Amino acid sequence: MVEQDWLSERFAEHQSRLHAVAYRMLGSPGEAEDAVQEAWLRVSRAGTGQVENLAGWLTTITARVCLNMLEARRARREESAGALPPEPAAPHSDIRSADPEDEALLADSVGVALMVVLDTLTPAERLAFVLHDIFAVSFGEIGAVIDRSPAAARQLASRARRRVQGAAEASDAARSAKRDIIEAFLAASRSGDFAALLELLDPNAAALDVRGAPAVASFFAGRAQAARLALVDGVPAAVWLHRGRPKAVFTFTIGSGKITNITIDTDLGRLDSLAIVLLHTDDKERR
């Protein structure tokens, strides 16, 4: 009983890190919580008599649980949709089910590109990349989890890293293009340049209750004096500030190089939960 109490206390000390490992492996806060609970069940049954590195041992157990969950998830997909192609043409991720705080945590630590590409990796690639590149786990320890040599684990992580880097380049290019369009829209709106606004808007663009490029252009012409270009949770957007505090966030949907939709959020509770970075020509300031 004394050993069990001691083990429970040690597990609690490491639980936040274990949850972080599981979340980055699985991309879902709910599944991460399930994985940590399953890891505790395994730990509580195993005992610690031969354990020299408790933190590493707990990480290994959690990683094995996550690997099993990833393999089960992949098997379900193959059963329902046939064999997955080796290189999907349009990678997709369901990670957006996470709550805003968890999404921000994941994005800050592994980047938007990884959130997009994670689901295209095999379970072994995903585990090798996450454990090594994010949590600095050695390839020897990773190899033990997936029953492969350290060299094979290194190769898996390298393969995953190349995919992530490729996705990062595409993601950066998309964000840069969107930022340029929004910046041009704000400039045209401030100056009241109706023709420039029309050029930026899709013919069927919509904003609030206004639909159609001419109506949207008329609505915004001359009205963006206080709006600032910004990154909102890492995505280019615009923010209207009053006395230094955000009062409205404008988010833009872009299609084929044109603005198709503009939404305006004025819920102060939601705005306070957003990570807002005001963008300038030569620098940026973080709120």
CATH number of residue 269's parent domain: 3.10.450
pLDDT in tens, 142-175: 999 999 999 999 999 998 888 777 666 655 655 6
* Residue numbers of the domain that contains 230: 192-286
Return the number of other C-beta atoms located less than 10 Å from residue 262's C-beta. Answer: 22
* Burial class of residue 130, CB neighbours in 10 A (0-12, 13-18, 19+): buried
Tell me, yes or no, whether 169 and 282 share the same domain: no
pLDDT at 121: 84
Number of domains in the chain: 2
Position 107 scores a pLDDT of: 43
Contact 65, 35 (CB under 8 A): yes
Domain boundary among 173, 204, 225: 173
Domain membership of residue 153 (yes or no) is yes
Note whether 208 and 168 are same-domain residues: no
In whole angstroms, what is the distance from residue 247 CA to residue 97 CA?
26
**Mean pLDDT of the chain, nearest integer:** 79
Give the confidence band of 83 by pLDDT, cuts at 50, 70, 90.
very low
Per-residue pLDDT tens over the stretch 87-106: 333 333 332 333 444 444 44
Q: Is the pTM of this model over 0.75?
A: no
Task: Pick 194 or 107 by higher pLDDT.
Answer: 194
Q: Are residues 123 and 17 in the same domain?
A: yes
64 with 153, same domain?
yes
Nearest by Cα to 60 from 22, 34, 96: 22
pLDDT at 142: 93
Q: For the residues 248-256, what does the mean pLDDT come to? A: 91
**120, 60: one domain:** yes
